[in-house]
Structure 1
Amino acid sequence: MDESRVAGYRNFATKLWNAARFAQSNGIGGSHSISAPKAELAVNRWIIGEVVETVEKLNKAFAEFRFDGMADAIYHFVWDQFCDWYLELIKPAFIDGEKQDMDEESRVVAGWVLDQMLVMLHPFMPFVTEELWHALADPEQPRRYDLIHAKWPEPKADVDASATAEIDWLIRLVGEVRTAKNELGIAPGAKMDAFVRDASPATLERMANQKAVIARLARLENIGAGNAPEGGSIQLVVDEATFVLPLAGVIDLDAERARITKAIEAATKEAASLSGRLSNASFVEKAKPEAVEKARADHAEKAAEAERLTAALARLG
C-alpha cells in the first residue's frame, strides 16, 4: 500500500471538512429537498448540472461494478468542481453582499450540493460524512435520520448548456491568467489590465456577467476592447478571443526573457541527455526497472517543462 495515497486521502478529508466549515461560517446549512433548487445565476445552474452528471457517472459505474470509477467520479467532483472552483466563484456573493437575493440563492444551492456530496461520498467514507451530515443541520431542526438512511441523489434537473459553457469559459480564462503569471514569476495577487480583441458577442456578454469574479480571481481589474499599448505583454487565447495583458511596470521584460531562455536551454539539454540514456539498449536491459521508469518520468517532465517555458516565452510578445 502506497503511504502517499493514504496521505492524499487524508488531504481530501481535510478539504471536505474545510468546505463544510466555510459553509457553516456563511450560513449554508443542510437542504430539505432531494430535488435541485431553482437557480438563476449561471454559477449555480452550472454546479447543479455538475451534480447531475456526477450522479449519472456514479450510477453507470455502479451498474458495471466499477467501484473505482465511482470513487474517482465523486473524488474529482468534490475536489475540483466544488471546492476548488464553485466555492471560490460564489465567495464574492457573501463577501460583497451586494444583492441579498444572490446571497440567498447561492446559500440554498450550496447547501443542496453539499448534501448530495455527502450522500454520494457516504459509501466510501462513512464516518466523516455522517459527522458533517449532522453538523450542517439547522440546530433548531436536527436531521430526522442518519445519513446511511438518506435517499440516493435524484436531482430531477437537466444540465444547463449555456451556464456550463459560461462557467467553463470563466475557469479557463482564470486558469490561463494564473498559469501565465506563475510562469513569468508575477505575484498571483498582482493586479493587471487586459485588452481583448476578436471577442464574439457571447464572450463580451460573459465578460460583463462575470466582471466581479474575473477581477477577484484573475486580478484583471480593467478589461477593455481594442489594441493594447505598445510594449511587451502576455497574450492568452481563450476560444476565439485574444486577451493581451501589458507588462510595462510589472516585470523587467529583458531580464525575464533571458531567464526563460536560460531555463529552456537547461531543460532541453537535460531532456536530450535522458533521451540518449533511454535509447541505449544496454541501459534499458541491464538497469533496474525502477531506474528505467524514473528516467522515463524525468524525461517526460523535462520535455514538458521545455515546452511550457517555450510557450511562456512566446506569450511575452
Structure 2
Amino acid sequence: MKETGKRNTPSAIQNKCFMLIQSGRYIIQNKGEKADIKFLLREIPPIKLNNPTVTAFIQENNPGQFTDYYYMIQALKKGESFDEARDGISFSTQFPVRPLNHNDYTKLKEILSGNNTLLHQIYLKKLKFLFQNNGCPKEIADLRPSIESHVVDSPLKQEILSLYEQYAPLREGMPAPLSSLQDANGILYTFNDFKGKVIVADIWATWCCSCIEKMPKFIQLQNEFRNQKDILFISISIDQKNARNKWLKALEENKMTGLLNLISYPTENSHFETDYHVIGVPRYFIIDKEGKIVTVFAPGPGKEMKELIQNILK
C-alpha cells in the first residue's frame, strides 16, 4: 500500500479500496475494541467516494457496506467512539438500535448532494425506513433540497418527496392531529381534551410482545413524575374494535390501571394510525401543553425520555 499509494492510478486506488473494506470488516468484527485498531486507522489512506475508480469498485463490492465502512473510519479517525462512528441508519441484529447522530446525518447529506447515482438509490431506499421509524426531524427535512436538485428523477425519488409531504404535519411544533380515542367506559377523547398538560403517550397493542415487555418501564417513569400536576401519561392501543375485550383484559393483566388507557376509535374523519403514520409499535409521543407536537417518535421509556420530559417541563 505504501508503494502504490503514492501513485493516483486506478490500480493504486483499487488497493486503497480493498484496504478500506477489509479494515472495516475487521473493526466491525471486533466492535472497535482491539488495541491495534488505532494503528490500523493511521495506515488507511484517504479515498474520494465520487472518484470513478472508487465508484466502479463499490458497484462490485457491496456498495452499502463499503460506504458504511468509509464513514465509520472517517469518524473513528476524528476520535469518535465506535458506537458513535458505526452506521445507525440501517437496522442490524449485530448491534443495538441507537438514535441517529451527526455522523449518520453527515453521511446522508454528503451522499445525497454528491453525484454517485448508485449511492443515491441505495440511500433513498434507506430514507423510506427512516421516515417510518424517525418521522421527519429537522435533519431529515434539511436533506430535501439536495434530493430535489442532485438526485435524478425516478419513481423512488417521487415516493420520497411524497413522504416529505405526508410526514410534514407530524413535525415538531405542529398541532397534534385530533384523532378519536376511547376509554374503557366508552368516553371519547382527543388530545385537545388534555390541553394544559404535557402528554406522554405509549402506543401499543395486545399482540405486541415488545410493547408489553416495555410497559413496566413506562409505568415506572409515570411514578417518577407522580407529583407533577401538569403531566399526563396515557397508553393508546391500536387493537381493532373486535379485540376490545382482549384489550380490557390486558390492562388488568399488565397492571396498567393506574394509567389513562385509551384505544383507537376510527371514525369517518379520524383514524389514529393513519393520522400518525403508525407502522409499528411500540411508539412514544410527547405533546406539549398547547397541544403541539414535541415528538411522535420519542425514545422509549428510560433516561433519554426522562431528560426530554424534564426539559419540556422547565
Same fold (TM over 0.5): no
Under a length normalisation based on structure 1, what TM-score does the superposition of the two structures give?
0.23
Under a length normalisation based on structure 2, what TM-score does the superposition of the two structures give?
0.23
